[in-house]
Amino acid sequence: MRLTYHPYTLELRRTFTLATGSRTSTPAMLVEVEQDGIIGYGEASMPPYLGESQATAEAFLARVELSQADPFRWDKILDAVDHLAPGNHAAKAAVDIALHDWVGKKLGLPWHRIWGLDPEKAPVSSMTITIDTPDNIRARVKGAEGFPVLKIKLGSERDKEIVQTVREVTDVPLRVDVNQGWADREEALRMVEWLATQGVELVEQPMPKERLEDHAWLTTRSPLPIVADESVVRLSDIRKLRGAFHGINVKLMKCTGMREAYRMILLAHDLGMKVMLGCMTETSCAISAAAQLAPLVEWADLDGALLIANDPFRGATVHDGKITLPQDAGIGVERILDQ
Ligand code: MG
């Protein structure tokens, strides 16, 4: 099996602002595996705050040796890739997605069928509205008209003003992502109680990721589900979050790909936690890979490919929040742009 990769820069349609900073592009790495005339596509998307870069991905992928690999031993291959070096989660996800795509294509089946899932069970996806000026927020919310649920980024001094601005324009249910932006648990509870009166249905990562006791305090009192994002990276993180959160946000780029994401969803459900399937700004390659798992989860936030201007793939679509899974084999994408 032949592995190739090259850097690709995702151009964002609009500046993306979170509690942690702003950016206009996202570095990525596009990966292909090829054998028997079949190409499997994969992708690493690497927002800078997560610590990976095109340089680290390139250095990691240079060490991945697949020339003698049997792709149907993908479980063993992915264990070996994981053990090459710590971290590098997005680069590992790129290999995982490409291998899944290849195996599905070889079998002639999309992964949601291999897993036995009903594509109609995929929940609607939210569309993200990032922190911005009131005029821009109003424009963005109007631009997301048709989406049945929006995800609002909070975590600044202006939180109430932002929610009120959104509410001037729409009355659809909102999800709130604080990105660790609140410092005090008592204030967090007061804010969550206020948000519950504003048509908000869940709150993601209110406080810093390591503060599990404060999150547990909040979760036992909160009128809304509290969902971990930054506090949960991989499978091994989930058990210690029981009681601290009502649910977890699983993202392929955090957890090394489809194999581990599937296991995380099953474990979280076993522990009585709900699951959101999330994403970074990504092409339709990684979004289509994640979408294969969407029928398993309670909440989806798979708007990543809608936020970029130069998507080189066509695959799963998210139209007005409805996730449509391609019936094509593998992850169900085709290359539409050469770069
Ligand atoms: Mg989040």
Write the DSSP assignment of 122-177 as a string of letters: PPPBPEEE-S--HHHHHHHHHHTTT-S-EEEE--STTHHHHHHHHHHH--S-EEEE
| CA–CA dist 129, 166 (Å, integer) | 9
pLDDT, mean of residues 307-327? 96
- Strands 174-177 and 150-153 turn out to be parallel
Mapping DSSP to helix (H, G, I), strand (E, B) and coil, where does residue 86 land? coil
Using 50, 70 and 90 to split pLDDT, how confident is the model at 181?
Answer: very high
What is the percentage of the chain residues whose pLDDT exceeds 70?
99
| CA–CA dist 225, 246 (Å, integer) | 6
And the tokens for 38?
């079949």
Distance 204 CA to ligand 1 centre (A): 6
Distance 106 CA to ligand 1 centre (A): 35
pLDDT, mean of residues 171-194? 97
Using 50, 70 and 90 to split pLDDT, how confident is the model at 22?
Answer: confident
Q: Which residue has the higher pLDDT, 132 or 100?
A: 100
pLDDT in tens, 202-258: 999 999 999 999 999 999 999 999 999 999 999 999 999 999 999 999 999 999 999
Nearest alpha-carbon partner for 313 in 86, 22, 42, 93: 42
337 Cβ contact list (under 8 Å, min separation 6): 310, 311, 312, 313
Using 50, 70 and 90 to split pLDDT, how confident is the model at 20?
Answer: low
Name the residue type at position 58. Answer: E
Distance 212 CA to ligand 1 centre (A): 16
Distance 219 CA to ligand 1 centre (A): 17
pLDDT, mean of residues 17-31? 86
Calculate the CA dihedral of residues 281, 283, 289, 291 and round it to 10 degrees: 70
Give the bridge partners for 21, in sequence order. 18
Q: What is the pLDDT, as a whole number, of residue 170?
A: 97
Distance 180 CA to ligand 1 centre (A): 9
Q: What is the pLDDT, as a whole number, of residue 337?
A: 78
Distance 230 CA to ligand 1 centre (A): 7
Distance 255 CA to ligand 1 centre (A): 14
CATH 3.30.390.10 intervals, the chain: 2-108
Q: What is the pLDDT, as a whole number, of residue 192?
A: 98
Whether the per-residue pLDDT at 339 is higher than 70: the answer is no
Distance 155 CA to ligand 1 centre (A): 11
Distance 105 CA to ligand 1 centre (A): 32
Going 138 to 297 to 311 to 258, the CA torsion angle's sign is positive
Nearest alpha-carbon partner for 172 in 142, 131, 130, 135: 142
Q: What is the pTM of this model?
A: 0.96
Q: What is the pLDDT, as a whole number, of residue 17?
A: 74
Distance 108 CA to ligand 1 centre (A): 34
Using 50, 70 and 90 to split pLDDT, how confident is the model at 19?
Answer: low
Whether the per-residue pLDDT at 189 is higher than 90: the answer is yes
Distance 129 CA to ligand 1 centre (A): 12
Name the residue type at position 184. Answer: D
| CA–CA dist 285, 197 (Å, integer) | 38
- Domain 2-108, CATH homologous superfamily name and number: Enolase-like, N-terminal domain (3.30.390.10)
Q: What is the pLDDT, as a whole number, of residue 113?
A: 98
Q: What is the pLDDT, as a whole number, of residue 323?
A: 97
What is the average pLDDT value for the chain, to the nearest integer? 96
pLDDT in tens, 52-94: 999 999 999 999 999 999 999 999 999 999 999 999 999 999 9
pLDDT, mean of residues 266-292? 98
Q: What number does CATH give the domain 113-335?
A: 3.20.20.120
CATH 3.20.20.120 intervals, the chain: 113-335
| CA–CA dist 127, 31 (Å, integer) | 27
And the tokens for 104?
């599905």
